[in-house]
Structure 1
Amino acid sequence: MASAAAPSWSQSAKAAGATRSLAVAQIVDSSPSQLDVSRDFLIGSRAAWQEINKKGGVDGRAIQHLVLEVDGSAASLRGALDTVRKTANCVALFGTAGDRAASQLVTLLKHDQQDIAHVAPWLQNSDLDGGPRTFSIFASRQDQIAQAIKSLSLMGVPEMGAIYASEQEYALYRNDVELASAALKIRLVSFKPTTGLAQVGKSLGADTPRILLFMGGTPELVQFTQSIDKQARQRFVLALADVNLQTLMQMGASRQTPIMATQVVPMVNAPLPIVKSFRQALARFFDEPPTPQSLAGYIAARYTSEVLGKVEGTLTRQSALLAFQQRQVVDLNGFRVSFNAQGRGGTYVTQSMVTADGRLVG
C-alpha cells in the first residue's frame, strides 16, 4: 500500500476505544489477486473521511476510520470481524474490498447475526443482495455484463467469446454471462482455462470471435493480452469493474488490443459535483491519480457519513443499523443511491477504454 495511505492497517480495540470519537471500520483484502482494487478503494475512502472530519465530522463528531487488513483467508476475515465486535465505539462497517472479502463477510454476518450495518461494500454478486445488514450501492456484476453485452448488440455484433481467468471464475460466472448473451441474442463461445491463460490466448484461431469478454482481474488480463499480442487478427476485449485500466497500462498490457472496462461510478473527469469533490480531496490528501476504484471508495464513505448524519438521538451501532435499513434515497451531489426490490442501491454502469495506441478514453 502507498505510504500516503498512512497509519498501520489494523488497530487494537483498546486503542480504538480510547478516543471519544465514533469509528467506522473498513476491511480490505491485500492478497495479490485483490490488491489492485482494494488499494485504490481504500485511498478514496481515506480521502473522504479526512475531508468529512475537516468539515466537522458527523453532527460535529470526528469519525475514526479503522482499517483492518485481511489476507484472503477465512480465519483472517473472522479475526477482523472479531476486532470490530470488540471495538465499542465502532458504529458501522463500510467499504469492504475486494469482492471476495465482501462476499465472505456477507455470509459471516448472516451466520453470526451481528447487529451492525455493512455499508457500500465492493460487492459484485447480486445473489447476496437483500439481507438485513448489507447495503450495496454499486451495480452488480450481472448489471455490468448486461451493459457490456448490450453495447455490442447495439453495434450489431452477432457473436462474442468469453474468457475466464481461472476455473473458479468459470464456475462462478459462466451462467451469468450465458443468460445475458442469450437475452440479447448474441452467440457465445466460452473458453475454459484448463491450460492457463497464456495457452488459451495462443489457441485462439481465425474462427474465434473478435470480441472477447474477460472475466478476471488486472494481472490476469495483462497476461492474456500479451498472449494474443502477435496474432494477425486483432481482438477487442471487454472487462468488468475489477480491472483497473490505469494499472493495466502500467503493467505492460498489449498495446495492440483495444480494451474496454465497465465501471460502477461516473468517469473520474466527469463534471458532476461529487466527482469534483473527489478530485479535490484526492489532490489535497494524497499524491495519487484518480481511478474509478478510488472514486468508488470515496462515494462509499460519503454515503456512509450521509446516512449516519440522519440518525435521530444517540448514534450507536443499533441506531445506525436502523437508519440504513430505511434504505432512503440519497443524492450524493450527482450520484444517486436508490434501492430496488432486491436490496441493491445502484445499477449505474458506464464504460471506459484503452485504445490500441495506449490512450484512456471514456
Structure 2
Amino acid sequence: MPSAQNPHRRALLRTLAGLGLAGTTPLWAQPSKGARAITVAQIADMSTNQIDVSKDFLVGSRVAWQDINSRGGLQGNAVKHLVIEVDGSAASLRSAVDSLKGLPQCVAVFGSCGDRAASQLVNALGRELPDLAHVAPWLQNVEAAAMPNTFPIFASRQEQIAHAIKSLSVMGITQVGAVYGSAEEHAAYRTDLEQVARALNLSIVSYATQGDLRDLAQSLQANSPRVLLFVGGTPELVRFSQGVEKQAAQRYIIAMSDVNLQSIQQMGMSRFTPMIATQVVPMVNSSLPVVKAYRTALGRLYDEPPTPLSLAGYMSARYTYEVLQTVDGSIHRSNTLQAFARRSAVDLGGFRIAPDSRTRGTAYVTQSMISADGRLVG
C-alpha cells in the first residue's frame, strides 16, 4: 500500500484538480448573447494538507451547477461557476479576495473549502466585501462565523464532537484522548474539545505532536485512553493509525468530517484499528431524493465514485441555487444577500436546512466506519 506521505499521489490529485476543476465555464454553459451573466464563485484551498477535501468537494459542486445549467439554469440563464484556487498562504487568499472585488457580476461566494480557507474568508469577506453573501462554506468552527454575510448550512465541529462523544458515553466510556495532527490544530481546537467533553462529563487527555505522528502513536501507554478523537488532515490520520497498529492494546479512532475516508482506504491505514468518521451529510447510498439526484448526476457527468465530501459540495451548490431562485427580479449582490439573510427553511430533496437565530445551519451528524479489515461501513 502507498505511504500516507506519497508525493506521487499528491501530484496526481493536483493534476486532476487542474484538469477537471479549473475556473472556466464550458461553452454550453455560457449565457446567451445579451443575457446578464450570473456568476457564483468558489474558493478552494488546493494545498497539500487540504487537497483531499477540496478535490472531492469541488467535484460535487461542479456536478450540481452543470446539472442545473442543463435544466435551464437560473432565470433562463446559465450560471457561471467560477473556481478560484488558493495554495493555503495568506498571499494567495489575499489575491482571491482582491479578484472578487473586480467581479461585480459575482453575486455570491459559496462552498469555500477546506476549513482553514473558509475560516479566513469569514473575516476577510465580512470586513472587505460585506455586501457579498458567503454561503454554505466547509466551515468546521461554525460558532466563530459571526460575520452577518456568512451563512453556514453544515453541522459544526462542536456538534460532530458532541455526537461522537454521546455515542461513546452510552457505551460507558468515561475518558477519551484528543490527538491533533499539527500544532495549529492543537491551538485552534483544544478548547472546543475540552468544553464539549466537560459538558458530557467526560475526562479528556490531549496529545500534541512535535514531529512524526507515528512516533506519537507508539508513545501511548497501556493506561492511555482507548478511544481517540483525531483532529487533522487525511495523511496525518493515516500516519497516526499506522503507529497505533504497533500498540498491543486496541484503540478506536474517531475522526471529524474533514477527512476523506476513501483516500484513507487507499493510503494504507492500520489493518487492526477500527476508524469512525463523523459526517455532516446523509450517507451516499441514502434513498433521499437529493442524494439520488446527486448519484445520478455524478454518474452522468464524472467518472468518480460517490463520497460524503463530494455530496457536501453538491448540496452547498444546490442550496445556493434554491435560495437564488427566491430572488425577485434581476439578481445582484444586494438582493442576493437579502435572500440569504432571511435564512428561510429549505427542503433540499428530503434534507431540511432550517437555520436558527445564531445563523447556524443544520445539526445533522452521522457516522461511517472503516472496519479493521478495511471495509467502509455506513
Matched, 1:327 2:306: no
Q: Which amino acid aligns with 1:101?
A: A
1:1-362 alignment runs, 5 A limit:
1=14, 3=16, 6=19, 9-10=22-23, 20-362=36-378
Deviates more, 1:305-314 or 1:78-87: 78-87
* Distance (Å, rounded) in 2 between the aligned partners of 1:38 and 1:119: 16
CA contact (8 A) 1:22 1:91 kept: yes
Given the superposition, is the C-alpha separation of residues 6 and 320 from structure 1 closer, same or farther in structure 2, using an over 3 Å criterion?
farther
Given the superposition, is the C-alpha separation of residues 89 and 168 from structure 1 closer, same or farther in structure 2, using an over 3 Å criterion?
same
Q: Which amino acid aligns with 2:269?
A: A
Given the superposition, is the C-alpha separation of residues 8 and 125 from structure 1 closer, same or farther in structure 2, using an over 3 Å criterion?
closer
Q: Which amino acid aligns with 2:234?
A: T
Q: Which amino acid aligns with 1:238?
A: I
Given the superposition, is the C-alpha separation of residues 170 and 3 from structure 1 closer, same or farther in structure 2, using an over 3 Å criterion?
closer
* Distance (Å, rounded) in 1 between the aligned partners of 2:148 and 2:178: 34
* Distance (Å, rounded) in 1 between the aligned partners of 2:302 and 2:97: 28
| 1:19-67 Cα distance to aligned partner (Å, 9 max, x none) | 8431110000000111111000000000000000011111211101111
| 1:279-335 Cα distance to aligned partner (Å, 9 max, x none) | 011101100011110000000000000011110111111111111111100010111
Q: Which amino acid aligns with 2:125?
A: L
* Distance (Å, rounded) in 2 between the aligned partners of 1:221 and 1:263: 16
CA contact (8 A) 2:113 2:137 kept: yes
* Distance (Å, rounded) in 2 between the aligned partners of 1:7 and 1:85: 25
* TM-aligned CA deviation for residue 75 of structure 1: 1.5
Q: Which amino acid aligns with 1:198?
A: R
* TM-aligned CA deviation for residue 128 of structure 1: 2.3
CA contact (8 A) 1:4 1:286 kept: no
* Distance (Å, rounded) in 1 between the aligned partners of 2:155 and 2:21: 31
After TM superposition, the score normalised by the length of structure 2 is 0.91
* TM-aligned CA deviation for residue 7 of structure 1: 5.7
* Distance (Å, rounded) in 1 between the aligned partners of 2:150 and 2:21: 26
- 1:284 aligns to what SS in structure 2? helix
* Distance (Å, rounded) in 2 between the aligned partners of 1:282 and 1:33: 25
Deviates more, 1:162-171 or 1:36-45: 162-171
* Distance (Å, rounded) in 2 between the aligned partners of 1:239 and 1:61: 41
CA contact (8 A) 1:131 1:343 kept: no
After TM superposition, the score normalised by the length of structure 1 is 0.95
Long gaps (5+) in structure 2: 1-13
* Distance (Å, rounded) in 1 between the aligned partners of 2:116 and 2:201: 31
CA contact (8 A) 1:98 1:122 kept: yes
| 1:319-360 Cα distance to aligned partner (Å, 9 max, x none) | 111111111000101111111121111111100000001110
Deviates more, 1:1-10 or 1:344-353: 1-10
Long gaps (5+) in structure 1: none
* TM-aligned CA deviation for residue 3 of structure 1: 4.2
CA contact (8 A) 2:17 2:55 kept: no
* Distance (Å, rounded) in 2 between the aligned partners of 1:78 and 1:5: 21
Q: Which amino acid aligns with 1:100?
A: R
* Distance (Å, rounded) in 2 between the aligned partners of 1:4 and 1:55: 25
Q: CA RMSD in A?
A: 1.8
CA contact (8 A) 1:126 1:141 kept: yes
Q: Which amino acid aligns with 1:295?
A: L
**Count of equivalent residues:** 359
* TM-aligned CA deviation for residue 131 of structure 1: 2.3
* Distance (Å, rounded) in 2 between the aligned partners of 1:244 and 1:34: 10
CA contact (8 A) 1:25 1:68 kept: yes
| 1:197-229 Cα distance to aligned partner (Å, 9 max, x none) | 122111011111111111111100010011121
* Distance (Å, rounded) in 1 between the aligned partners of 2:17 and 2:347: 30
Given the superposition, is the C-alpha separation of residues 7 and 349 from structure 1 closer, same or farther in structure 2, using an over 3 Å criterion?
closer
* TM-aligned CA deviation for residue 196 of structure 1: 3.2
* TM-aligned CA deviation for residue 130 of structure 1: 4.0
Given the superposition, is the C-alpha separation of residues 3 and 230 from structure 1 closer, same or farther in structure 2, using an over 3 Å criterion?
closer
* TM-aligned CA deviation for residue 92 of structure 1: 0.8
* Distance (Å, rounded) in 2 between the aligned partners of 1:108 and 1:316: 20
* Distance (Å, rounded) in 2 between the aligned partners of 1:84 and 1:168: 28
- 2:250 aligns to what SS in structure 1? coil
